[in-house]
Structures are given as structure tokens and as C-alpha cells.
Structure 1
Amino acid sequence: MDEPRFSTIIEPFRIHSVEPLRMTTRAERREYLRAASFNLFQLRAEHVLIDLLTDSGTGAMSRDQWAALQHGDESYAGSPSFYLFADAVRELFPFRHVIPVHQGRAAEKILFTALGGPGKVVPNNTHFDTTRANVEATGALAVDLVVAEGRDPASDHPFKGNMDLAALEQLLTTSGDDVPCVFVTITNNSGGGQPVSLENLRGVRALCDRFGKLLFLDACRFAENAWFIREREEGQGDREVADIVREVASLADGMTMSAKKDPMGNIGGWLAMNDDRLAEECRNMLILTEGFPTYGGLAGRDLEALAQGLKEVVQHDYLRYRIRSTAYLGEALQKRGIPVLSPFGGHAVYLDARALADHLDPLEYPGQSVAVALYEIGGIRSCEIGTVMFGRQPDGSEVPAAMDLVRLAIPRRTYTQSHVDYVIEVCEQVAARAHELPAYRIVEEPRMLRHFTARFEPVTG
């Protein structure tokens, strides 16, 4: 007899512990916004009702992860927790060298300090914010080479995160001597959490072999990417996610990882590779900046929790729930005529702020305007991914980003369906007022990664 099918999305877990949410009034939120200079990163967390700023480090750890914390060994050197962690990493990513760090941007800093520098060029499908900043901080140029469909919010291409192979080949032909490595981000966060296909990765690998280049993965959402491969790519539907992950890893020479995403950690990351010389250089830099190679800025208990999280994230029941519950939000917004990027990503739904607030020029920051409105109306914190984040160029000039999006990033195993239903209602109210949303201007900003600390004000009159 066939297995019965149900439409209800059921979480594959029970709630064991809860933390309170504080309700605020709209008048209070207006004051909080002014005090934060209209930068949602500057809000106090207790003033946020539903926090969709990021899925990085904000998820709920499992019972078994909390139990694993008690096994943590805090020896400065040679902790058994490190070897447990390294084995768990190599079970999915069989690289020779596994170097723990406190989070993904530390891995990027170490790697690009070793490989970057003035005159170097680092191609990626799309660099995320810290990746781009760490490339550019060395004087190198970060180049985005995503396929054309990845720049079109309405395109239904199943793998909009794919690298443009023709563009990569042209870059390697004309500037190959300046390219120390090729990067592929899975899933492609800046492009809407879109996946990369196995076929595309094989194509990138072939070009790297042909031109003698290292291929690195920014793999922080590797399990979600593998699930999309299983669901969307021909011939992959009967495979175990863990096996797909291993094949993806086999195509690369190394990886950076923020373990605050798919590995289910509240902190942590790693840098992994096969090259012995490069690994030695990176380890020396690790000791200088992060810590000894068997802890890398993490406590032993963190390493234990990540080892357990790597087992849990490739479970099909979890991934089915994770991807389906994200789609539930996206489908509901689409049904209400709210423009969103499609297909939906695994970790987030992205509002198309440029289409939603189409009376605003990209240099008037429509993404920031929509994100501020979501908080003012409903206490939802989200993240602008558009011209604020990516518009400023290394020479100080400013241009519109490829897209102006607002990311509703869903923390793992944290919110229930009623929370998501509330988010849908708030988005509907913001959309009804979108034509009234003001432009914003930046009144103060740092030289790099301005979206974290910039001060804004609405343009009135």
C-alpha cells in the first residue's frame, strides 16, 4: 500500500525548551529605529519580535547537541574534541587538512591573506559580503560570474546559483595568471539562496583542471544545496544527501565554512584543503590570529556540538521539513501578489524590494526602506541585500546592485508555523503601503562592510 500524503508541514521534532518573545508597540519601534539610525543591525535583540536578520548562528541546537557539550575537552592542544570534529568533517568533506576557526569570515581572512594581494582576481558565482570584503582587503578584485538567470528575480531556472562557465573560461583565458583560485558559493546567498548543480560544478572543475587553478567551495549551506540537487537534477532523485555532499566535495580542492549555518552551530567554522604547502601557511596564520590548530578559536564543547550537527543536517526528514517550510512562506507571499525571488531558496525567502517599492531609485535604497517598514509595522527584523550591501565600489563610487532584495532568513528549528503566518500578514501590510515608503540616505558609513554599522535617515519632503 502506498504511503499516504498530507499537506500539513510537520516539524520533525518536539519543543523541549522555550524562550520568551517581548511584544512592542509601533510607537516604541519607531523610537528604537531612530535610536538605531534606521540600521536594523543596531537594534537590540530584545526589541525584535521575529528575528529573520540571518540564519547564521541563530538556530536551535538539538537535545543531542546539548548533550555533546558535556563531552567537550578544553585542553589547549590535542583535545579529543578536535579529532571527533575533524572526523565528522571528513565524513562529508574528505580533505586532508581541516583547520577550525571561530566562524567563516576567519577562514576567508586566512585563505585570502595567503592567496590574494594586489593584482589578483578571485572569481565566484556571487561573493557574499564578508567574502568580497576579505578578497578586497588584500587588494585583490572580487568578480561575480553567476549565470544570467541568477540576476533575474522572476526566472524559474532550477539552478540560478550556477557559475557562468563561458564567462569563467574567458576570464581564465585573459587573466588566468592573476587568478589564484576559483570559488563557488553553495547555495548562492547573495543571489537568493539559489543552488548550484552537480553538472555545473563538474564544468567548473574541468575549467580549473584545464587552467591549473584551485577550486574552493564556500559551502556553509551545503546540505540545502545537496537537497536541491536531489530534488531538481536529473538522475539524482534516489541518492542519499550525504553521498551527494561527498561528490560535491570531491570536485573541489578545499573549502571555507561558516558552521553557524548548515552544521547547526551557534559559533564555529573551518578551512579545509588538500594542498600541504598552503595548509601549512594557513595554520601558521591561524596560530597568529585564532588559536592553536586543534581548537582554532573554539571551545572543545563547540567542536563536539558541530560534530553532532553535521550528522543531523544531512537527515532527509530534517531537510524535507526545512525546504518545504521555507517554500510555505514564499508561496503564501506569491499568492498575495508580493514580488519575491523564485524559485525559493532553502534558508530564506527574498522579497524583490526594487519591484515592491518601484517608485524608488536603487540609489534611494528600496531594500532598506522595505526592511525598515517590516520592523516598524510588525517587529520583524530582516536584512537588505542590495545596493546598501553591494553598491559601494572599491574606488569609493556607488552603483546600483544587480538586485535590491530583502532577505527573510529563517533560523533552523526555531520558529513555528504560526510565527511564519504572522510574518506573512506583516509582509501583506507592508506591500499595501509600499508606494508610500520613503527613500533613505546614508549619513555616515565605514569604508568596508558598511551595512553593519552605517547610519541612515529617511528622505522627507
Structure 2
Amino acid sequence: MNYNKYAAEPFRIKSVEYVEMTTQKQREERMQQAGYNTFLLDSKDVYIDLLTDSGTNAMSDNQWAGIMHGDEAYAGSRNWYHLEKTVQELFGFKYVVPTHQGRGAENLLSTIAIKPGQYVPGNMYFTTTRYHQEANGGIFRDVIVDAAHDSTANIPFKGNVDLAKLEALIAEVGAEQIAYVCVAITCNLAGGQPVSMQNLREVSALCRKHNILLFMDATRCVENAYFIKEQEAGYEQTSVKDIVREQFSYADGCTMSGKKDCLTNIGGFLCMNDENLFQEAKELVVVFEGMPSYGGMAGRDMEAMARGLQESVQDEYIKYRIEHVRYLGDRLLEAGVPIVEPIGGHAVFLDAHRFCPHLKQNELPAQSLAAHLYIASGVRSMERGIVSAGRDPNTGHEHVPKLETVRLTIPRRVYTYKHLDVVADAVIHLYNNRNQIRGLKWVYEPKRLRFFTGRFELM
């Protein structure tokens, strides 16, 4: 393996946080107490935390300096105006509504844009996004390319929308029955897979032809832009910042979780160009989030987000970010560990079907694999399979996704390459002893977003 091909960290470490090491016996006890759900572990018992990249970023000295400039006025904070201007300049939308995090923006958009019975097509579901859509009477329809459901299909831009599927849905239900099209850049549950600029253009043209709104889940839009720069002809010499701006030129708006590519620990926003939708969103943000000039965030958090956004589009940062994740994936591939290919932007996804072929999907192989990885190593990861997929709200039947994965999510600017070596060694060891992984069964199944708080026991 050529270690020199991966970008070095474009930063120096100024502060460190010490972590505890636990024994395997202690981890067995902790995992049993947590009901074999990695979400229910205490962070103090976790050595390397790859549960999520949401809000787990390390902020820069510039962002921490911005914290001290926090204007905590209830209305009209100067930090809000800085954030608003930054988003408008980088994303190009006219209107910005702040929220406490991404799901706050999803809730606002779903409430103002969906009429009961309307469809919301998207490039694969995401858990909280689909929940808000369905809670407001919407019907999700997956229109991603078929290859996205195949972990072994090593092709670029597996997050693309299948235009034929989208056109077929429009013909089936009528354009007026589609609330909006939702395109995630990148597509999380497909493995952090990007969407090409050409596909965004084509989806935009189709939506405009039928007078359908196009909104993007912009959570990892900078990562998506890097893949376009790296893999799409004509963008090799274009800055990531300019690619980000062009991506959004094809949309009517976006939802954003500031806890990812904004390099902060909390926050989000909703953008749009339509003034009427903006007025509705401003009215509802007061109900659900807070004033339209803070939306659930402190002034200091808005300042950190504005500065983080500016840092995130620096080419040297995002190159390191993508290659840091790719390093872990390459180490696992070299050892024969089955993962989702190609390696995506924010995480490496273990293919639990191929990792645990002795377990049927109703034995929850991804949930069990995540639990056993923690027990073996102290590395916390996340299930992304049948448990996350949940149930159909109308029939109560389980959604059965083709992908059954464990997500090893890399926080930004937190772990070194050596940390990733520890993760790789642990996963490889577990794979070599995979027949010892036992299935799980439900003990407690919540009615909503069950993967967060559900509890299990070994079969």
C-alpha cells in the first residue's frame, strides 16, 4: 500500500482530549447494558467514535476566535447577518432561514411544501428526511440509479437520480402530485456517493419542464463538489468553491445540517428563492425553532458556522478530507473486507450481508456487527440497514433495504491516520473471526426512528 499517495493533514493540533481505554470484558458489559445499540453507549466508554460525522467536528482556531465574537441578542444578531451573507455568497440562494440543525430545516420544508398524498421522489431515503416527509402526509419514492443498491458496483456518481424513474413517476401520478424532488449531495445511505453535475442539470431541466420544485439535501455538498472536481470532465481546474455554487444554481432551495460540511457542532438552515415559501418558513421557524435571526442557534454558533463554511471550501482541506476517508477504505479492501464501493465522502460502509453471510437479514446482521466491533475494539459505529429503514407508516410492514451496512463515519479534523489504522486492524480481525458474530432480536422497538433508542439482545 502506497502510504505517500494520501494527503497529509493541512493543520496542526493545538489541543487534545484524553480518552479512556477499556477492556473487552468491560465493553461486553457496556454493550449489554446499552441493549446492543451503539447509540446508547456513553461516550466515555468509547475509544474511537465513528458513530457519526454530525456535530463531531474539531473546530479551527479561527472558529474558536469567532465564538468570542458571539452577539447573543434575541433579535438581529450581527452573527446572523454574517452567516446569512456567507450562505448567500457560497450557495447563491436569495433567502436563508436558520434552524437548530438539519432536521429542523427538513421539518420546515416538509410542513410548507407537502400536501397530504403528494409524492416526494429522492435519490434514496434518509431516515429523518423521510420521517418528516411522511409525517406531513408525503409519500417517498426512491428514484436513485439501480447501481446504488449494489455495494460491489464500483462506478462513479452512484448517487445520481435515474431520470427514467423520475419521468415514470411524473407520468404515473401527475406533476401536480409531486411536492418537490429531493436530491441528496452526497447520498448518505448509498455509501456517501456523489451526484454528478450533469445529472443535477438534467434533473433540474426535467423539474422545470413540469414546474416541479427541486430541493437539495446539502449536508455534504462540499464533499460532493470535490468528487465532481476529481471525476467529472471539465471540472479539473475549477475550484471547489465555484463547483459548490454551480451545484445549487440548478435548485430552488436546500436544507443544510451545519454539523457536517460547515465544520461546526450544531446548527443548520433552509434556503430558497421563492419569496412566498420564505415568508411561510419565517412564520413557522418562530413556532418550531426560534426567531428568524437565530433559529435555535446561539450567536456564537452562527459565527462559527459562517467561518467554518468558508474553511470547508478550501481545496487543500477537502482534498485531505476525502483522502483521509479513502485511506481507511483502501486498507480494508486490501485485506479483502467487503465494503460499499467506491469509497464515499464521509464514511466507509461495511457490507454486512457479505461480512456476515451466516446471518439472515431478520437477524439484524448490521446491528450485530456494529455491536461486536465495539466489543472487540472500543470503536463505535452505526447500523445502516433494516433497523434504520424502519416500517411503512401505513401497513406497519418493515422496509427491507437491499443494502445492509455498518457505517464507519469519520469526524472532520479529529482522528489521525494512526487512529484509522487501529480501526482497520480491528475490522480485519473481526472479519477473520466473523463466524463468531451472533444475530440479534428486538427487545424494545420505538414507533419512530427506532434505530436511535431501540434495544436488542443476542439470539
Interval containing the TM-score (normalised by the shorter chain) = over 0.9
Q: Distance in 2 between matches of 1:182 and 1:97?
A: 19
- The 8 Å contact of residues 359 and 435 in structure 1, kept in 2 or not, is answered as yes
Partner of 1:184: helix, strand, or coil? strand
Deviation at 1:8, TM superposition (A): 5.3
Q: Which residue of 1 aligns with 2:91?
A: 93
1:353–1:404 CA contact under 8 A, matched in 2: yes
- Aligned residue for 2:450? 450
- Asked if the contact 1:391/1:401 (under 8 Å) is kept, the reply is no
Post-superposition shift, 1:392? 2.1
Name the % identity: 48
| Number of equivalent positions | 455
RMSD: 1.1
State the 4+ residue runs in structure 1 displaced beyond 3 angstroms. Answer: 5-9
Matching residue within 156, 171, 187 for 1:173: 171
Cα distance in 2 between the residues matched to 1:393 and 1:372: 26
Q: Deviations over 1:347-403 (max 9, x none)?
A: 100000111101111111110111011100001110111111014222211242120
**Is it true that 1:33 corresponds to 2:37 in the alignment?**
no
Taking structure 2 as the reference length, the TM-score comes to: 0.98
Counterpart for residue 220 of structure 2: 221
Aligned to 2:275: 276
What is the identity, as a one-letter code, of the residue corresponding to 1:72? G
Q: Report what 1:423 is aligned to.
A: 423
**Contact 1:160–1:196 (8 Å) recurs in 2:** yes
Secondary structure of the residue aligned to 1:441 is: strand
| Alignment match, 2:293 | 294
Point out where structure 2 has 5 or more consecutive residues left out of the alignment. Answer: none
| TM-score (structure 1 length as normaliser) | 0.97
Paired with 2:430 and 2:12, the residues of 1 have a C-alpha distance of 32
Q: Supply the distance in 2 between the matched residues of 1:414 and 1:322 (Cα, whole angstroms).
A: 11
Q: CA deviation at 1:117?
A: 3.8
Task: Indicate the residue corresponding to 2:133 in structure 1.
Answer: 135
The alpha-carbon deviation at position 9 of structure 1 amounts to: 3.6
Alpha-carbon distance in structure 2 between the residues aligned to 1:428 and 1:413: 24
Q: 1:189 maps to which residue?
A: 188
1:203 corresponds to 2:202: yes
In the alignment, residue 381 of structure 2 is paired with which amino acid? S
Deviation string for 1:153-201 (max 9, x for gaps)?
Answer: 0111100000011000111122122111101000000110000000000
Aligned counterparts of 2:4 and 2:407: Cα–Cα separation in 1: 29
Once residues 125 and 438 of structure 2 are traced to their aligned partners in structure 1, the CA distance between those partners, rounded to angstroms, is 29
Letter in 2 for 1:290: E
Mean alpha-carbon deviation: is it higher for 390-399 or for 347-356? 390-399
Alignment of 1:66-81 (within 5 A): 66-81=64-79
Question: How far apart, CA to CA, are the structure 1 residues paired with 2:124 and 2:187?
Answer: 7
Which of 103, 106, 111 matches 1:105?
103
The one of 56, 59, 77 equivalent to 2:57 is 59
Gaps of 5+ in 1: none
Residue aligning to 2:122: 124
CA distance in 2, matches of 1:234, 1:173: 32
Match of 2:98, SS state, is strand
Q: Which residue pairs with 1:408 in the alignment? A: 408
Q: Does 1:46 align with 2:72?
A: no
| SS of match in other structure, 2:451 | helix
Counterpart code for 1:53: L
Deviations 1:46-71 (A, max 9, x none): 00000000000001000000001111
Please give the alpha-carbon distance, in whole angstroms, between the structure 2 residues aligned to 1:278 and 1:285.
Answer: 11
1:158 aligns with 156
What's the counterpart of residue 345 of structure 2?
A: 346
Following superposition, the deviation at residue 118 of structure 1 comes to 2.4
Instruction: Give the Å deviation of 1:6.
Output: 4.4
Say which SS state the counterpart of residue 189 (structure 1) adopts. coil
8 Å CA contact 1:57, 1:261 repeated in 2:
yes
Superposed CA deviations along residues 417-454 of structure 1, whole A, max 9, x for unmatched, are: 11110001100111012122111111211112000011
Worse-matched range after superposition: 186-195 or 119-128: 119-128
Q: For residues 301-342 of structure 1, give each alpha carbon's deviation from its aligned partner in whole angstroms, at most 9, with x where no partner exists.
A: 001000100111011111111111111100100010100111
AA partner of residue 441 (structure 1): K
CA distance in 2, matches of 1:292, 1:445: 35
Superposed displacement of residue 279, structure 1 = 0.9
Distance in 2 (CA, whole Å) between partners of 1:246 and 1:283 is 24
Shift of residue 7, structure 1, vs aligned partner: 3.2
